[in-house]
């Protein structure tokens, strides 16, 4: 579906079901250089198991026109704008990587208006290597290849996608490389500059669940520990077979963990 916003239409995948704001609403926010398709293993299941789902395309990504937003604070405001535009009462915000930081900041700003928070592949600080920033700034395919290589765990490098015939690393390269010029750099620069994760975490009042990959090289489990400690009562699931791209690498396991959060806050 398309959501009419002040700055233009925003695309959100509803998992093949009609959006119903009377149900618990999960808003899924993708990471840098991605779009709603990274939630392919989660959004349809959520939509057919008692909740409504909006897997967003952020500005400049997927089917939502740009320009890209180049700060986590700006992205958080955008997500809150979606909540307000659709008059959603207490959404569950779920984000991956850059989207996780966005969901965290948005949840902190929403306060009691946020029902739950799911954070996938995040850490208190998410600096980006200068070589990757440079490659992204110059729109080189090298940037996509670096992200695909670092972002997937060792199992994904050997294959093993639950959907037969899909090569996860190449799929990621194609997804990232088809972004418009400047979008990936804006995303990575936003992650690199954001330093308010712990402050935002301290303001989160809703139940939270962190989903981490044991083989994550980009946001390792140990680096996420300060964030875990900063969110009071946060639940944590570590996926043994996944790296940073756990929504694609372990779709079933990540889906069950996120559904557990949605059911918990829905009562």
Domain enclosing residue 33, as ranges = 2-127+194-266
Q: In this predicted structure, which of 55-64, 85-94, 159-168, 213-222 has the lowest mean pLDDT?
A: 159-168
Q: In this structure, is residue 205 part of a structural domain? A: yes
d(C-alpha 53, C-alpha 74), whole Å:
22
Upstream peptide bond of 67 is cis (omega within 30 degrees of 0): yes
Distance of CA 123 to the CA centre of its chain: 13
Could you list the beta-strand ranges (E) of the chain: 2-5, 8-13, 25-29, 52-56, 92-96, 116-120, 208-213, 235-239
Q: In this structure, is residue 95 part of a structural domain? A: yes
pLDDT attached to residue 52: 96
Q: In this structure, is residue 84 part of a structural domain? A: yes
Structure tokens at 78: 């955008």
Q: In this structure, is residue 147 part of a structural domain? A: no
Residue 223 reports pLDDT greater than 80: yes
Structure tokens at 95: 């984000």
Q: In this predicted structure, which of 136-140, 181-185, 215-219, 222-226 has the lowest mean pLDDT?
A: 136-140
How much is the mean pLDDT over the chain?
A: 89
CATH number, domain with residue 88 = 3.40.50.1820
pLDDT attached to residue 136: 83
Residue 245 reports pLDDT greater than 90: no
Residue 161 reports pLDDT greater than 80: no
Q: In this structure, is residue 106 part of a structural domain? A: yes
User: How many structural domains comprise the chain?
Assistant: 1
Structure tokens at 153: 């765990």
Please write the tens of the pLDDT for every residue from 51-98.
999 999 999 999 999 899 999 999 999 999 999 999 999 999 999 999
Q: In this structure, is residue 244 part of a structural domain? A: yes
Identify the band that residue 157 occupies on the pLDDT scale cut at 50, 70 and 90. Answer: very low
């Amino acid at each position: 579906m398309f959501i009419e916003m002040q700055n233009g239409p925003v695309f959100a995948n509803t998992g093949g079901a009609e959006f119903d704001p009377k149900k618990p609403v999960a808003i899924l926010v993708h990471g840098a250089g991605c779009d709603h398709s990274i939630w392919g293993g989660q959004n349809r299941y959520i939509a057919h198991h008692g909740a409504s789902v909006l897997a967003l395309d952020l500005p400049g990504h997927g089917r939502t026109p740009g320009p890209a937003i180049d700060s986590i604070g700006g992205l958080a405001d955008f997500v809150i704008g979606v909540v307000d535009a659709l008059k959603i009462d207490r959404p569950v915000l779920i984000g991956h990587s850059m989207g996780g930081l966005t969901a965290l900041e948005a949840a902190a700003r929403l306060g009691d208006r946020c029902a739950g928070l799911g954070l996938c592949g995040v850490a208190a600080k998410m600096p980006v290597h200068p070589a990757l920033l440079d490659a992204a700034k110059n729109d080189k395919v090298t940037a996509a290849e670096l992200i695909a290589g670092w972002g997937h765990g060792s199992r994904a490098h050997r294959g093993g996608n639950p959907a037969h015939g899909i090569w996860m690393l190449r799929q990621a390269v194609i997804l990232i490389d088809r972004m418009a010029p400047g979008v990936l750099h804006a995303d990575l620069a936003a992650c690199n500059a954001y330093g308010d994760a712990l402050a935002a975490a301290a303001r989160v009042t809703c139940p939270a669940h962190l989903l981490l990959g044991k083989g994550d090289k980009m946001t390792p489990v140990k680096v996420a520990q300060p964030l875990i400690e900063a969110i009071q009562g946060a639940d944590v699931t570590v996926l043994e077979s996944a790296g940073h791209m756990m929504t694609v690498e372990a779709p079933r396991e990540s889906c069950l963990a996120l559904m557990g959060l949605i059911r918990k806050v829905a009562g």
